Structure formats: C-alpha cells, structure tokens
Amino acid sequence: MRNNRAMSVPHRVAVLALDGVVALDLGTPAQVLGAARADDRTPLYAVATCTPGGLPIRSSAGFQVLPDHGLELLERADTVIVPGIHSGSPLDDGTVAAEVAQALRAAYDRGARVMSICTGAFVLAAAGLLDGRPATTHWAYASRFRRLHPGVRLDPDVLFVDDGRVLTSAGVAAGIDLCLHVVRTDHGSAVANRAARRCVVPPWRDGGQAQYIERPVPRGADNGTAATREWAQQRLHEPVALREMAAHARMSVRTFTRHFRSETGLSPAQWLLQQRTEHARVLLETTDLSVDRIARDAGFGTTAALRQHFHARVGVSPTAYRRTFR
C-alpha cells in the first residue's frame, strides 16, 4: 500500500453523476478501478454511483442513469470522482447547485480524495476546490474554463494533473490514464499493469493532449516527417541526431522541428526517447536478452541510461517490468 487512503480494502469510491454526464466517463472508474485486484484476486476498490437526490439523470449518449444512491454516498467515500458533462450550469456560467458544492467540499474537508474526468473539472472549480491549484480539462474547453475560472492554473497540454488530494484529467480516455495512475499510486505498478491488461489498454501513455488536438492535415506527404520517422525507427540501435533527421527530411533543423511537433505533438528528442522506450518494452517482453544488451539495441547505450528513462516513463525498472510481463 502506497498511502493511507489505500488502507481500507476495498477502497470506497463514489462517482457523482450530474445531468448530461458523459457516458464513457461515467463507466470508466468502475471498469478500471474494478479491474484492480490484489494477488489473491480480492477487489481493491468498491465503486458506486450517486446523483443529487438519488434521482435519474440524462446521459450524453441518449439514455437515463438510474443511480442507487444520493449525495449521502459522498459522506463515507474515500475517493470522489466527478465524470465529465456535456451541458448544464457548470459549463454555461461556472456555477453548480449549492447542495453539490457543499457535498464535494465536505468530502474534501474530511480527507477524501477528489477527482474529475474531462469537463468534470468545471464542477470541481465551481465548488471552489480548484482555486489556486494546477488542473486540466479537455483541450477543446480550455478557453471557456479560463474565462469562467481565471484563478485556476489550467494546463491543457497534459493528460492528467495530480495535486495531492485533488486530481483532474483531460478528455474522455484520459480518465483511464488517471484511474490507472491512482491504482499505481495506491498499490504499485504491478497491480496497475495487471488492471491495464485486463482492460486492454496501455498502462501508461506518453505525451500530452497536444498530440490529439485538431490540426490541419499536411498538404502532402513530401512536406511531412512520416518518412523520416520510419527511417529513424529502423535505426533505434544507432545514435540519431536531430540534424540527421532534418537532412533526411530535406529541411532545416528549425523547419523540421516545427513540422515534427505539429504532426506528433512531441519534439524529435521526446519522440525518439518514446520510441526507444517502447522498443525496450517489446524486447523485455518477448526476448531473453540481457538488460545490458537491450539497452544497446534500443539505443540507450548504457544500462544506467535505460533504467533511468524506463523508470521515468513506465514507472518501474526494466527488470521489474520483465518480471511482470514475462
């Protein structure tokens, strides 16, 4: 167990659904946290859903949600999660019903962890729980969020923000990333990785929202960096310099870097590190090569460099990763 919140097993999670709730966001906590099990298969989280007054609400997908609980569920929850919404006063004018705001603040004040998925951050902000804090939400709602809540330190480029007992995530599938992060924080990487595999999702996604923001389609393949990326992927075992990539693309370094970031959301150096890490993961899972050999084949050069970057991006050492996935 990584912190005191994880000590109650199962850890009690209340999902607070409001009218216009995003259907995928609503189901994410039960699906992902429900997949987290101890070594003896004991469920580590108990997830329940509530609404104000325990009344039915509409979802964004054209069906009604019939909850089993009202706001009293928040009074005994260890973690409270607010899914995104597609309509309502939190999005329109930055306000939320007084009973909802009071229930959320009371849960936080007594020590509960409070989280939001996607536009659920508007609800937390309207309840006053994000004032002065770093937070994120769906990139498409960033301008509206800043206008309604200028006192929040919004970062629309990341997949999620963990600010202690208040956590927020970006749009839709980023809620999966946040829930897996919570499992990893509470119970370690091995449990989180098993939960990810059970849900058939990657245990960790690199990069931020920038790679998903709508961008104009490149005018032609000749002007893009796709061919150079393929060329670099075939040479991960070798040093690949930025100037070599730019030369292959027949661009200046400055132009190449601008095109590369526009197409991938990452700098060439970040992208190369991502590709080297993913190649090392494949080798750890599918071969019996030594960690030292994998470090060379993936282009890290030394075992120390592989360990440092692998742990930073995946959350565990190469050896621990191999034990889990072999």
* Model pLDDT for residues 192-203, shown as the tens digit of each residue: 889 999 998 877
The list of the chain residues with pLDDT below 70 reads: 1-8, 204-223, 325-326
What is the reported pTM? 0.67
Contacts of 135 (CB under 8 A, 6+ apart): 121, 124, 125, 152, 153, 154, 155, 161, 163, 166, 168
**Count of CA atoms in the C-beta half-sphere (13 A) of 17:** 30
pLDDT of residue 189: 80
pLDDT of residue 215: 42
pLDDT of residue 206: 59
Active site residue 199: no
Alpha-carbon span 29 to 15, nearest angstrom = 8
Angle between helices 318-325 and 303-314 (to 10 degrees): 60
pLDDT of residue 220: 41
pLDDT of residue 210: 52
Q: Provide the greatest CA pair distance for the chain.
A: 63
pLDDT of residue 217: 39
Query: Which three-class secondary structure state does DSSP give residue 15?
Result: strand
Angle between helices 268-286 and 242-249 (to 10 degrees): 100
Of the residues 50, 118, 179, 199, which is catalytic? Answer: 118
Query: Which three-class secondary structure state does DSSP give residue 279?
Result: helix
Q: Is 133 exposed, middle or buried (0-12, 13-18, 19+ CB in 10 A)?
A: middle
